[in-house]
Structure 1
Amino acid sequence: MTFPEMLGHPRPLWLLFMTEFWERFAFYGMRWALALYIVAQFYNGDATGEKPASNIYGAYLALVYAAGVFGGYIADQLIGHQRSILTGAIVMGSGLFVMMLPSMDLFLLGLALVIIGNGLFKPNISTMVGQLYAQGDSRRDAGFTIFYMGINVGAMVSPVVTSWLASVITATPMQQNYKVVFASAGVGMAICWLWFWIGRRQLHGVGQSARTSLSTRNLGLVAAYLVVGVPLMYFLLAKLGATALAWILGILFIGLAAMLLIEGLREGAVARDKVIAMLIIFVFNVLFWMFFEQAGSSFNFLAEKIVHRDFGSWEFPVAWFQSVNSLAIITLAPIIAAIWVWLGRRNAEPSIAFKFSLGLIFNGLAFLLLMVALTHMVDGGSKIPFWTLFMVYVIQSVGELCLSPIGLSMVTKLAPARYVAFAMGGWFLSVANGNNLSGIFAGEVSGESGMTTASALSGYTFGFWALVGSGALLLLVAPLISRLMHGVK
């Protein structure tokens, strides 16, 4: 279908842009507070709570993305993408309000609702962006980059707004007002639902298919998924732990890879090769997110304890560091996109695998800066300069722009035709594996007694070598992966 255009792209792109903005406002508006809240509320602010808080944080993020596998299947086979998004928004918003209650069990139940709701929402809206463009449309990558900016506008604004509200609504210390953070995120999710409900008419069937319906069977299966899924997520968070979860997520990833490969084999040698190339990229994606996703865990504790944040009588809030990444993305995304277009016109645009290797290497350079700061810039108060952590987020953002929006577009190009949303769920499952490992890694950085300059230096040194080494390896095998993609760029 040909859509009316707005600013050179299909008009519904901007509907999806703002829908994603509000969902990301809700998601990031409370994400920055999770580990800090767990330590403050359930460990009375004691540093021994950092490791379990990081593990819960990583496991939560992992399950959010793992749920996308099931959310993608429900959308593809049962109720369609639009209805999945609307259902997910309701479930996720409910969880954010439940998290306001000061009980660990209820807090984890709220997280379980957010996980299930986001799993229904996230992979399906990304898939719909791809459906707005015909195969071979040169605007597709640019469209995903614009969409990715919508993600980051929401992510940039929300920590500033929610942390400010937490500090001013009542006359108590901010850590006692995390319920305000969660409530603000819940309101953002309600706006997201309303915006998409009103605007979805302009999609003209995008996100629906002949395979999906509101039959009694399909609705019953979705209801069963919710009834079983929420308690299961609670159990995984509360009882199982991050290490056991790593094994479960690894097995899920292998199973999904096998299903995609079987479907590729059915469609022929070219489809098989494309699936193999996509799965190789997925593995490197795990490593990227394992170290990138320190923002809400170890980087938060680093900012709180080891980074100078004083500017005269004013102290830079820890939460605001979460906005630096998004600000950098918004600033740099048009530049990076323009570079790819400029190179493309000269038949010199790097391959997908080459871009991914750049993402890993830039992520590693951010850890190199931390290594230098923790080795040579620590002052008498055992703190490092403000600008170092600020620039860590900026450097990581360059790596993210080389990798993440390109990855979303890659899946829509390489996945078997009948399983695009399922493959998008596979992309998010690779992110899930990385996120869970990020919580385990952050816990090791803090150790049993809390983060110190020595523990941070040791952990971040390991991160540097792992990222640069994997980036170099991917660079070596990039030509092989490009051949497997059969001309897909």
Structure 2
Amino acid sequence: MNETIKVKHPKGLTFLFLSEMWERFGYYLMIGIFTLYLKDVKAGFSMTEAESADLYGTFIALVFLTPFLGGLIADRYLGYAKSIILGGLLMGVGYCMMAVHSLPILYLSMTLVIIGNGFFKPNISTLLGNIYSTPEYSDKKDEGYNIFYMGINIGAFICNFFGAALYIMLGWGYAFIAAGVGMFIGVAIFIYGMKHYRAFDVKKGVKEGDMSFLKIVLVILVPSVIAGVIGWILPTKLIGHALVGSASTDAFIFACVPVIYFYGSLLAKADKDEKRPIAALLTIFAVVILFWAVFKQNGTALTTWADRYTDRHLQNPVAEKTFSKLNFSQNFTYSKDSIPLYDNAFRIQKKDGIVLKEYNYPTYFKNIPADKLPAEGGKVELWATNLSQSINPAWVILLTPLVVALFTWLRNRKREPSTATKIAFGLFISALSVLVMIGAVYSGGNGAEKVSVLWLVAGYGVITIGELFLSPMGLSLVSKLSPVRITSLMMGGWFLATSIGNKLSGVLATLWDTYENKANFFWVNFSLLLFSAVIAFFLLKWLNGIMEEKGIK
């Protein structure tokens, strides 16, 4: 892979690749254990499934909301390099602070990560696009983003093994500190490679007619905060409950309105030659929201599936010895006495039908047939739940070269589909992945028995193909279609769509325990993705026409 980068791609790709790899190592290590930590009674905050899913959804939504502002500041004032370094340092500090077991400190550390990602994420993606702006490399931009995306997933793959070993051996705090160290390594690599992209770190400045930064703060940011506070308080006061899920969800929806208005105003005030490209991008942003709503359930619903419904028993002696030696597994002791205290929702203890709290008794034994249960006091060795989140990045690493080769083969024969077409197919393929999980539900008798981890492997495998058709292509499309002066700001728009989808993923995940038949939960996800794919294919002719006008594919 390195040889390929040296020969066919700009040298800066190597350093951006490694910087993003380590940044994602930190982020996905943290996010991989986040809900497990929140639900841990002994060393976490003993949150219920719904509470942890709601906080998780709000967190990852805000993480991808701030890039809109970080992109704007980089475009006009700081430039990309300074923004990337600042963002990386803030995130590193935030991860390390999560090692302090305190709810106020947790919220403060989450805030640093949210702000830091706003500076880091859109600007490293924009800088990557800039180094492909020369005629020598312009036709390899999609391929460059695919390679860059593989760097993201190498970090996301290896981090969960470090996270599992550290929280099993030493506790949650050491795992969070490891995430911070990974982020600092990423910043160091980025600084070391500056000579390869310094020339492409060009501030766009302010064009006549653009809103000033102060005006944006007053017209967009302040109203967003005010709207968020109103959304948090007003619906509950007026009708006695939240409009959608929880007060935090209402607050997020209200806060998004001024930001969405801002992007609409960009379209309304754009020059004539900019209107159609901006309209195309805003349309793509809206279409992909439902993809992220389903895809980002890897940290909630799919982690719950791995924890409660997947056979994690290390029955192979070699695997058991290896995982145990590397501290990737945990021992659980079976006791008949603890089981009757809890209902069929596994960890939820109820009184008079009201959920009191979830408890950390061994959930593994809840849906195992009686003849397969160990003897009283018997122990089983289980691989750590968070390792399931390495399945998706493992598929990305394996499949990226194949997808890149496919598109290269098609390009050489003048048959490569447009970037917009790739995104539409990505949505459709992602919908098919949910059918695999529906099959898993039926295979296990709707939770009556545990199912093979191969169901998760297959489901992640299919959605990964959809992801590779969509996510890096989305970044590439923004780089291609955006007016030069607002490229990073439009990259922030892509992450705004991701943010809304992330929050929706948390809302959907909070409904998990309300579905007695888990297949219906996945049927809802399938319907959402299929609807999104149909809309994308319906708009293809219009989108491709705009791209042809710009002389791009």
TM-score (norm 1): 0.87
Q: Does 1:207 align with 2:201?
A: yes
Alignment-derived partner of residue 531 in structure 2: 469
Q: Does 1:115 align with 2:114?
A: yes
Work out the CA distance in 1 between the residues paired with 2:65 and 2:463.
23
Work out the CA distance in 1 between the residues paired with 2:259 and 2:425.
24
Report which stretch shifted further, 248-257 or 86-95: 248-257
Work out the CA distance in 2 between the residues paired with 1:201 and 1:319.
38
The letter of the residue matching 1:357 is: A
Report which stretch shifted further, 33-42 or 125-134: 33-42
Query: What is the 5 A alignment of 1:190-201?
Result: 190-201=184-195
Query: What is the 5 A alignment of 1:383-398?
Result: 383-398=450-465
- The CA deviation at 1:428 is 0.4
Q: Does 1:27 align with 2:16?
A: no
Q: Does structure 2 retain, via aligned residues, the 8 Å contact 1:81–1:128?
A: yes
Alignment-derived partner of residue 172 in structure 1: none
Work out the CA distance in 2 between the residues paired with 1:164 and 1:433.
33
Work out the CA distance in 1 between the residues paired with 2:313 and 2:10.
46
Work out the CA distance in 2 between the residues paired with 1:325 and 1:82.
30
- Quickly say closer, same or farther: Cα 1:358–1:278, change in 2 above 3 A: same
Alignment-derived partner of residue 552 in structure 2: 488
Computed over aligned residues only, the root mean square deviation of the Cα atoms, in angstroms, reads 3.1
The letter of the residue matching 1:361 is: F
- Quickly say closer, same or farther: Cα 1:330–1:380, change in 2 above 3 A: closer
The letter of the residue matching 2:146 is: T
Work out the CA distance in 1 between the residues paired with 2:447 and 2:485.
60
- The CA deviation at 1:133 is 1.4
The letter of the residue matching 2:470 is: L
Alignment-derived partner of residue 295 in structure 2: 292
Runs (5+) with no aligned partner, structure 2:
207-211, 234-245, 321-380
Alignment-derived partner of residue 302 in structure 1: 305
SS of 1:315 mapped into structure 2: strand
Work out the CA distance in 1 between the residues paired with 2:67 and 2:108.
18
Alignment-derived partner of residue 65 in structure 1: 64
Alignment-derived partner of residue 511 in structure 2: 444
- Give the number of aligned pairs: 461
Alignment-derived partner of residue 405 in structure 2: 338
Q: Deviations over 1:122-171 (max 9, x none)?
A: 100000000001266111111111111111111111111121122223xx
- The CA deviation at 1:189 is 1.3
The letter of the residue matching 2:307 is: E
1:248 to 250, 254, 260: 254
- Quickly say closer, same or farther: Cα 1:62–1:252, change in 2 above 3 A: farther
- The CA deviation at 1:434 is 0.2
- The CA deviation at 1:257 is 2.5
Work out the CA distance in 2 between the residues paired with 1:311 and 1:413.
48
Alignment-derived partner of residue 215 in structure 1: none
Work out the CA distance in 2 between the residues paired with 1:153 and 1:191.
15
Alignment-derived partner of residue 273 in structure 1: 276
Alignment-derived partner of residue 80 in structure 2: 81
- The CA deviation at 1:392 is 1.2
Work out the CA distance in 2 between the residues paired with 1:89 and 1:305.
35
Work out the CA distance in 1 between the residues paired with 2:448 and 2:45.
20
Runs (5+) with no aligned partner, structure 1:
170-176, 213-217
- The CA deviation at 1:430 is 0.4
Work out the CA distance in 2 between the residues paired with 1:418 and 1:380.
53
- The CA deviation at 1:377 is 3.3
TM-score (norm 2): 0.77
Work out the CA distance in 2 between the residues paired with 1:276 and 1:319.
40
Q: Deviations over 1:174-230 (max 9, x none)?
A: xxx111111110111121222222321332332233749xxxxx9999xx9xxx9xx
Report which stretch shifted further, 137-146 or 432-441: 137-146
The letter of the residue matching 1:407 is: G
Report which stretch shifted further, 290-299 or 461-470: 461-470
SS of 2:64 mapped into structure 1: helix
Q: Does structure 1 retain, via aligned residues, the 8 Å contact 2:431–2:529?
A: yes
The letter of the residue matching 1:141 is: D
Query: What is the 5 A alignment of 1:10-409?
Result: 10-41=10-41, 49-134=48-133, 137-169=138-170, 177-209=171-203, 211=205, 241-248=247-254, 250-262=256-268, 265-266=270-271, 268-269=272-273, 271-312=274-315, 314-378=381-445, 381-409=448-476
Identity %: 32
Q: Whose radius of gyration is greater, 1 or 2?
A: 2
The letter of the residue matching 1:75 is: A
- Quickly say closer, same or farther: Cα 1:204–1:394, change in 2 above 3 A: same
Work out the CA distance in 1 between the residues paired with 2:230 and 2:88.
22
Work out the CA distance in 1 between the residues paired with 2:40 and 2:421.
43
- Quickly say closer, same or farther: Cα 1:457–1:338, change in 2 above 3 A: same
SS of 1:82 mapped into structure 2: helix
- Quickly say closer, same or farther: Cα 1:135–1:38, change in 2 above 3 A: same
Larger helix proportion, structure 1 or 2?
Answer: 1
Q: Does structure 2 retain, via aligned residues, the 8 Å contact 1:256–1:426?
A: no
Work out the CA distance in 2 between the residues paired with 1:237 and 1:41.
31
SS of 1:123 mapped into structure 2: helix
- The CA deviation at 1:273 is 1.3
- Quickly say closer, same or farther: Cα 1:141–1:458, change in 2 above 3 A: same
The letter of the residue matching 1:37 is: Y
